[in-house]
Each structure stands twice: as structure tokens, then as C-alpha cells.
Chain A
């Protein structure tokens, strides 16, 4: 009998405890957990894998506007082109070509249009070895001076690659197999007139849950 009483007592206490808990939950006495602060999503422009520039071959294959490559719309055919220099021996770029920024090399000695373009046929490029190259073959022109880089590019060590590291068709995904891999031409990334990459806006830095305290020694240039 004593046991029974004790059991009943425990059950009553438990019921009261549960009822109090239930009341507390329904009155939200404990409060709701703070919602996670929603961080802004990154701009989808930054997720794109396209190159910054498009080569002549790409423009042709995508049927883009090619007016800029029709030299003889303005220039006279069969006439040798003459360059103008100012009194400091700097090339004077005519107004028609004012979009071109000459900055190939830091030494300023490669500012002659006809180091690469053919002055007797503007639709051609001329490497120093006397070959005549079309605009589509600009990579070979670059390679005629930048030998080691060209060698690296051929091996896939320089420049962007995309697609498949696995060059065997059996090894690659059958579903979306669209060619083993793609190498980019020099001019897909570099502007041939000014090949050094211009500065770009970086993607946003990491967001912290709490305010970031400054690092005691933030990076400083040694120069």
C-alpha cells in the first residue's frame, strides 16, 4: 500500500511538472532561438567561368560583329603604312585607334604596331621569322617571342584549361562529354596590346559571425 502511495505521488509530481513545462512552452517563456543572420549571396557574375576577352577565332565561331577587324574599310589597300612618332620617339596613336593602349612590355621598346602586324597586309600578323599568320593564329605569333611560355602553354602548364583532366574518353563522364579539354588562346586572357592583366575587383571577403577584431600586425608591404 505504501508503494502505491509513493507511485501515485511521483505520478502527480510528474504530471504537474509536465503541465508546467507545457504551459511554459506554449507561453514561449524560454524564447525562440535567434534566427540565423542571413548573409548576402555572392554576385553570380563572379561564378562565371568565361574568359575576360574573346579571341578572333571565338568571335568568328560565335558570329559576332567583326567590323573592328575589317582594316581595309578605312585603310587603303596596297599602301605601306607609316607610323608617326612625337619628338620623344613615342608612337602617336591615331584617333581612330584611340581604344588601343600600348603597353606591351615595361621597357617601352615594343610600341611599334608593325612588330606584330604586317604593314603591307593589315589582315595578317608577322612574326620575326617571316611567316604570315592570320588573326586566328595569334597564339603562334605570341610564341615566336615568348618561347618558354609557349612551350608551357602547349603542355597545359601556362594558361587556363577547362573540361577534363582525364583525356581518355573512357575515363570521362559519358553524359556531358564535350571534348577532352579546352585550352585558351593567349588573347582570350591577355590583351595583345597591353598583356599585363589590369586590376580587377576582388570577390567579397569572408563574413564573420561576430565583428572581426583587428589582427595585431596586419599585412604591410616590405617596400
Chain B
């Protein structure tokens, strides 16, 4: 190659490369695209404790970079001899929706667009027709005469249809009965949302927005760590709290004491006594055979 040829071809190459670089400009605006570490991460159930430590460190730095708050991320495992059950007293619920917002705060759900794990249905007394229920009631005062309120969230089925349809096993049921999602393994196909008869699963169509001062820094890998765009999420019985022995956030905030949670294998727990002595009225859509761990009951 002569000198002129070299200069010409390198100039052409330079122009081509510059044009290519300039045309890739939108990539510069892509923030927080997946790191190589995350891309090469192993499947949750194949990770060794050392692997998990690295993953938790990565999540800690990622969250700190994105939200400006240093979180305390843990990977809490199910406890031996514990099987969780939730019981909700339909006689007591006043429909105030405090549980909905306490859950959003505890579990770092997106504020805009809004993702809420709990939906409170308003129905007339003497009926249980979910098709005719009202989600959007907003009177000056609740409860309204002649109506009852039924909060619906993930029912933590013993026979979960959402787990069966997941093509990549990104969601599964753990030993304590909680169906969890590995947000790093989810491919966002939303089959689980189609399979869930309770509308419990929600999809992050955009990157979730969580104001810095509303971020809950107490996080768990399978629980409330911030999600990315393109993954599903749902109620996980607050694993970051309940696997540390505490009550879920929706229970703590309920002003009517309508929500009860505990270990069904402990005969002294509230839920054991409720299931033994109260009129446990339904498992929602019992006829589908999903066998929820979420029971609705009545006083009297």
C-alpha cells in the first residue's frame, strides 16, 4: 500500500467510525443498563453463599448509585418449621386503603406509574360478585353503609399457576409457602400475569420511580429491592420483615386489626386459632384449585 492509499483509506475509516459513533448516541442516554456481573449471574438456587455475597454487594452499590441511599440488602432464607398463612377479617375491614400505601412504601414499588400489590374491592352486603366490585371508591368517609371491603393481594397459592407457566423458573414457591420472584432472572414475558387468577402480579413497563426519601433501605434479594424495567413483581408477604420474625407492613398499619399473619404450624399462633375457631369463609376463587394461603374470615 502506498502512502496516498493509506491516507485515503484511513480518512475513510475515520469518517465511517465517527459516523458510527455518532449514530450510537442514543446509547449514551441509556442509564443503568445491565452490568456484566448481572449478566453473568448464576441462577438463584445454584448460587453459593460466596456468589450471593457478591450479588448483594453489587445490588448495594447499584441502589446507592441510582437512589443515593445505601441499602441494607440481605438474602433471607425460609425458617424451619414455618409455613406462613394470612387471615383477613372481612367484618373488620373498613376500606381505608392504608394497607395499600404502607405496602408501597415498605416494598419500594414504583410511584409513577403506580404499582400497588393490594387492591381493595368494595361490594354490597350480601354479595360476593367481584365482577361488580368497585376499586375506585373515594367517598368522604369509609366505611359506607351497606357495603363491605375486600382487600385482594397475592394469595400465595399452595398450587400456584404463575409458577407453572414461568418458562425460565424465575418464580417459585419456597419452603415457608411464599412464592418469590428472582427479578434478575425474570425475562418479562408476563405469562405469570396472564396465569394469575387474582391479578396479583404487576409489570414494570418503565423504570420504577421511587423518591429518595421514600426508599426503604431495609431490603431482601427476593423481596423489596428496587426492580428494573421489564420485570414482574408481586406481594411476597414482606420477606424482608417476615423472615426476620416481624409482621408484614400491611398488618402493622391496619387501623381495624383486620389483618392477621403467622405460622400455621404453631398451634398457638393467631392464624392457627382463627382457622380453628372462626368462620373462615373463603379462599378466594376456591373452585380454581389454587388453594390460597390467604384466608378471608368473619367474626361472630
Task: Tell me how many residues of A have a C-beta within 8 Å of chain B.
Answer: 64
Our pick among A19, A155, A205, A212 for the contact of B270 (Cβ within 8 Å) is A155
Check if B100 is an interface residue, CB within 8 A of chain A: yes
Whether B254 sits at the interface, judged by CB under 8 Å, is yes
Known: A38-B112, A223-B146. A163 touches B22 (CB 8 A): no
Q: Are B246 and A165 in contact (CB under 8 A)?
A: yes
Question: CB < 8 Å: which of A156, A203, A219 contacts B133?
Answer: A219
Q: Which residue from chain A places its CB closest to the CB of B95 in the assembled complex?
A: A202
Q: Which of B111-157 contact A (CB under 8 A)?
A: 111-114, 116, 119, 122-127, 131-143, 145-147
Are A161 and B25 also in contact (CB < 8 A) when A42-B101, A219-B134 are?
no
Let me know if B247 and A199 touch, CB within 8 A.
no
Residue of A nearest to B23 (CB): A21
Question: Is the CB of A51 closer than 8 A to any CB of chain B?
Answer: yes
A207-B137 in contact (CB<8A):
no
CA distance A51 to B255 in the complex (A): 7
Residue of A nearest to B16 (CB): A15
Stretch of A66-74, A80-88, A107-115, A166-174 at the chain-chain interface: A166-174
Q: Which residue of A lies closest to B143 (CB)?
A: A199
A49 with B253: CB separation less than 8 A = yes
Q: Say whether B12 contacts A15, CB under 8 Å.
A: yes
Given contacts A15-B19, A39-B113, contact A155 B273 (CB under 8 A): yes
Q: Which residues in B have their C-beta under 8 angstroms from that of A171?
A: 79, 245
Stretch of B36-44, B57-65, B178-186, B257-265 that contacts chain A: B257-265
State whether the Cβ of B98 lies closer than 8 Å to any Cβ in chain A.
yes
Q: CB of B7 within 8 A of chain A?
A: no
Does the CB pair B278–A49 fall under 8 Å? no
A189 CA to B257 CA, complexed, in Å: 9
Within A124-172, which residues are at the interface with B (CB < 8 Å)?
152, 155-166, 171-172
- Distance between Cα atoms of A52 and B253 in the complex (Å): 11
Tell me whether A61 is interfacial, beta carbon within 8 Å.
Answer: no
Known contacts: A199-B141, A200-B141, A220-B124. The answer to whether A26 contacts B25 by CB under 8 A is yes
- Whether A157 contacts B270 by the Cβ 8 Å rule is yes
Once the chains are docked, how many angstroms separate the CA of A46 from the CA of B135? 18
CB distance from B280 to the nearest CB of A (A): 12
B268 to chain A, nearest CB (A): 8
Q: In chain A between 42 and 92, which residues have their CB closer than 8 angstroms to a CB of chain B?
A: 42, 46-49, 51-52
Is A47's CB under 8 angstroms from B206's CB? no
A-B residue pairs in contact (CB < 8 Å), sample of 28: A19-B15, A22-B23, A26-B22, A36-B113, A38-B112, A47-B253, A48-B253, A49-B252, A52-B255, A157-B260, A157-B273, A160-B254, A163-B246, A165-B242, A166-B263, A173-B244, A184-B257, A189-B255, A201-B96, A202-B96, A202-B137, A203-B100, A204-B138, A215-B132, A219-B122, A219-B124, A219-B137, A222-B146
Give 9 nearest A-B pairs by CB, closest first: A199-B141, A22-B22, A166-B245, A18-B19, A172-B245, A21-B23, A221-B146, A203-B97, A219-B134
Given contacts A15-B19, A209-B113, 9 further A-B contacts (CB under 8 A): A25-B23, A37-B113, A49-B102, A157-B274, A163-B247, A165-B262, A165-B269, A203-B100, A219-B134
Interface positions of B (Cβ within 8 A of A) = 12, 15-16, 19-20, 22-23, 25-26, 79, 94-98, 100-102, 104-105, 111-114, 116, 119, 122-127, 131-143, 145-147, 206, 209, 211, 214, 242, 244-247, 251-257, 260-263, 269-270, 273-274, 277-278, 299
Chain A interface (Cβ < 8 Å from any Cβ of B): 11-12, 14-19, 21-22, 25-26, 36-39, 41-42, 46-49, 51-52, 152, 155-166, 171-173, 181, 184, 189, 197-207, 209, 212, 215, 217-223
